[in-house]
Amino acid sequence: SVPLSFFAGIGGASKKGILIKGAKNLETMAKCKTLAVDKTGTLTKGKFTVLSVNPQGVSQDILLEAAAYAESMSTHPIGISIVQRYGKEIDGARLSDVEEIAGNGVRAKLDGKEILCGKKALLETNGIAAQSSEDSATAVYVALDGKFIGEILLGDEIKETSATAVSRLRELGVETVLLTGDKKDTAEKVAKKVGIKTFFSELLPENKVEKVEQLIKDPDRRLVAFAGDGINDAPVIARADIGIAMGGLGSDIAIEAADVVLMNDDPSSIADAVKISRKTMTIVR
């Protein structure tokens, strides 16, 4: 049978918007030594602003229109911000064959012409060379009809509580490791600002799973939690010893895969969850 204090622990956590799915997960959470985190929407606000629209060989309007149409079905924060910046109605009749390529970008047809919109590598694997003008911003590259037509630079803000969360976790003996699909320069900048020493960049969703598996194998690092906002992250949330879905109402598949769901999007709640679970375990013992 499950000791009553487990229910007290789980109940106490839920008052703070931390939903721990059962006694077993509370026990695992208490033993966690490494927290792997996603960047976008987890350490950062996940609300990008378009910093600049840099066309090549076309007008700014054409570049922005192509990107916005391609992104119009995307739930990724990058896609949402590009559609917002475009600001005009999307005419569904002009759009076809929309496909999101997880951790890479999107592919779609506008007036029958193919658009690729996403990472440089996405264009390159399709035989299209792309130029970049900046290294420290998140960049989206766009191709229309097989030709590179420019880049869109975007910026995201770090959450006010991210640095505090990382230092609170460190005090609890939990080291935070950053796993991101974004570029090295962006990853490094965010890691430095929030006080994370170890970071891995340019990871596809499946590479995040592999990284977590490596961390789990390291006796000095386990048990390993992973926290993400749920966009693309369900597989790694499922694979971690403790999977944490942030932002509560984010993605259903991520909430389903998670062991812990945070109703808020405050990374400090992860430190609260560790604290509450450890306290509960000392009472049980």
Query: What is the rounded distance in angstroms from the CA atom of residue 273 to the CA atom of residue 19?
Result: 9
* Residue found by looking up tokens 């509560």 in the block: 248
Residues of span 177-236 touching Mg ion by CB under 5 A: 231
CB atoms within 10 A of CB 147: 12
Instruction: Quote the least distance from Cβ 221 to ligand ADP, whole Å.
Output: 20
Among 9, 79, 150, 230, binds ligand ADP (CB under 6 A): 79
Assess 74 for contact with Mg ion (CB under 5 A).
Answer: no
Q: Is 241 a binder of ligand ADP (CB under 6 A)? A: no
140, 174, 191, 254: which one contacts ligand ADP (CB under 6 A)? Answer: 140
CA distance linking residue 79 with residue 189, whole number of Å: 22
Q: Is position 107 an interface residue for ligand ADP (rule: CB under 6 A)?
A: no
Q: What are 109's two structure tokens?
A: 């047809």
Q: Which does 106 bind (CB under 5 to 8 A by kind): ligand ADP, Mg ion, none?
A: ligand ADP
**Angle, in degrees to the nearest 10, between helices 268-284 and 23-30:** 110
Distance of CA 71 to the CA centre of its chain: 17
CA torsion 133-138-144-150 (nearest 10°) is -20
Our finding on whether 76 is near ligand ADP (CB under 6 A) is yes
Give the footprint of ligand ADP on residues 27-66 (CB under 6 A): 38-40
Given 40, 162, 201, 277, the residue binding Mg ion (CB under 5 A): 40
Site membership for ligand ADP, residue 267 (CB under 6 A): no
Active-site residue 266, yes or no? Answer: no
Residue from 232, 251, 277, 280 in contact with ligand ADP (CB under 6 A) = 232
The site partner of 177 among ligand ADP, Mg ion, none (C-beta below 5 to 8 Å per kind) is none
Q: Which of 38, 241, 259, 266 is an active site residue?
A: 38
- Is residue 81 near Mg ion by the rule CB under 5 A? no
Which of 28, 34, 74, 251 is close enough to bind ligand ADP by CB under 6 A? 74
Residue 248, C-beta contacts closer than 8 angstroms, at least 6 positions apart:
17, 255, 261, 262, 263, 264, 265
| Residues from 9 through 38 that contact Mg ion (CB under 5 A) | 38
Residues at the interface with ligand ADP (CB under 6 A): 38-40, 71, 74, 76, 78-79, 103-106, 117-119, 138, 140, 180-182, 231-232
Which residues are known catalytic residues?
A: 38
Residues at the interface with Mg ion (CB under 5 A): 38, 40, 231
